[in-house]
Amino acid sequence: MEAQGIAGLTLEVIRLGERTPVLYFDIPATGGLDQERTVLLYGHLDKQPEMTGWREGTGPWIPVYEDGKLYGRGASDDGYAVFAALAAIKALDQQGIPRAHCIGVIETCEESGSYDLPAYLDFLSPCLHDVQLVIAFDSGAGNYEQLWATTSLRGLVNGTLEVRILTEGVHSGDAGGVVPSSFRIARQLLDRIDDSGTGVVKPQEFNCVIPPDRMEQATLAAGILGETLWQRFPWASCCDDGETAALSAQPVTKDPVEIILNRTWRAALAVTGADGLPPVAAAGNVQRPYTNLKLSLRVPPLVDGPQAAAKLKKILETDPPYSATVRFDYDSAATGWNAPVFAPWLKDALDSASQTVFGRSAAYLGEGGTIPFMGMLGVKFPQAQMLVTGVLGPKSNAHGPNEFLHVPYAKKITAATAMVIAAVR
């Protein structure tokens, strides 16, 4: 960052006690603009675990640039963010275009729920002044053909469900039909949360009414994206060549509007990990004493995260089948975010930037992921405008194997962001 030679740049790594550190930068306004009116730029440097399944020649820590894509863990989520922020500011300064006071907050625990971030926001509050615009480079793109602004983010409850029925494993021939399987008990408990046939999350506490404007935006986005909304995923096929579409795995629905609403404004439960299950090659005829499942419950933007976590714990632990020992411990509970109405100046700036860079108008779409920072900022700066954007487009596969940064799109997003920053007065 220092090597970029941006005039007036102040750069600091801040660490409060034993908390995860924050990379902080401060760049004064240019062109005689008010130094108190601030653009706050956000990103994060921490990454998800490596994951297995990377294709030959690539890997989580092996940077490979191929066909305009930079492969590696965290390339698009969210290592590029600080570079995009500085490049946008530097481009404006090199062209002598006046811009607002810019501050950057790049955290290092976003993938763990941003639990340290509130303390840093309080600590940095005197430096932030009058925040006019927040730009977060940590979101998705419906395609690589236009600028996408995120209108909502889901909340998230992460935790571990433990089901224990025995103190030690026993012969399955001796116990089968007498001792209930801990895995079957876990299945019964999960049935309390979602319908195993449809995936619909049943408790009303985990759902909300979808606002009419978000329904309208989903319809417009569905018209732009169509079948790419489900084709973007790496579906398994019975055939190595993947050409027999009828024999490939299928999505829950192919209705593009329903796909958007399912992944942005409806709850969804996933089992993301397990303990107590030996590898297949090492499994014997043993009735296992316990099953632990890592659960990830995405909740709609208007559902309170901590309340959802408490409700999930109560549902899973109350009256367990066969009086098994059941415990659910949640390690994070984040509330989602619904963007404030875009001010006319910001909407005009987004459309102008997208038309200039891409030749198409900006588009608007909710995202299924969680950025706890946005909810925190919404509370702390209720009058600020919010631009949440990013490079997580089709097949970029953040959190999974073969994650890549679409470099040509990242360049265009950076240019469009510079134009939006220039519109702040």
Q: Collapsing DSSP states into helix, strand and coil, what is residue 291? A: strand
351 to 4, 110, 136, 361: CA distances (angstroms) = 29, 29, 18, 5
Residue 233 inside a domain? The answer is no
C-alpha neighbours within 13 Å on the C-beta side of residue 53: 9
Secondary element (H or E) of residue 414 = helix 407-422
pLDDT of residue 268 exceeding 80: yes
pLDDT band at 243 (very low <50, low <70, confident <90, very high): low
pLDDT of residue 376: 83
Residue 251 inside a domain? The answer is no
Identify which of 115, 215, 155 has the alpha carbon closest to the alpha carbon of residue 368: 155
pLDDT of residue 237: 83
Q: Are residues 394 and 381 in the same domain?
A: yes
Full domain range(s) for residue 361: 2-153+336-422
Residue 160 CB neighbour total at 10 angstroms: 16
> In whole angstroms, what is the distance from residue 419 CA to residue 422 CA?
5
User: Model confidence over 355-369: pLDDT tens digits?
Assistant: 999 999 999 999 998
Query: pTM of the predicted model, to two decimals?
Result: 0.87
pLDDT band at 240 (very low <50, low <70, confident <90, very high): low
Domain final position from 319, 334, 349: 334
User: Model confidence over 272-284: pLDDT tens digits?
Assistant: 999 999 999 999 9
CATH of the domain at 123: 3.40.630.10
Lowest-confidence region among 99-108, 145-154, 233-242, 266-275? 233-242
CATH of the domain at 193: 3.30.70.360
Question: 396-408 burial, b if ≥16 CB within 10 A, otherwise e?
Answer: bbbbebbbbbbbe
Three-class secondary structure assignment of 134-166? EEEECCECCCCCCCEEEEEECEEEEEEEEEECC
CB contact set of 270 (below 8 Å; sequence gap of 6+) = 295, 296, 297, 298
Domain final position from 280, 310, 334: 334
pLDDT band at 239 (very low <50, low <70, confident <90, very high): low
Calculate ∠ Cα 285-291-297, nearest 5°: 145
Q: Are residues 172 and 81 in the same domain?
A: no
Average pLDDT rounded to a whole number, residues 79-107: 97
pLDDT band at 245 (very low <50, low <70, confident <90, very high): low
Identify which of 309, 314, 272 has the alpha carbon closest to the alpha carbon of residue 293: 272
pLDDT of residue 126 exceeding 70: yes
- In the chain, how many domains are there? 2
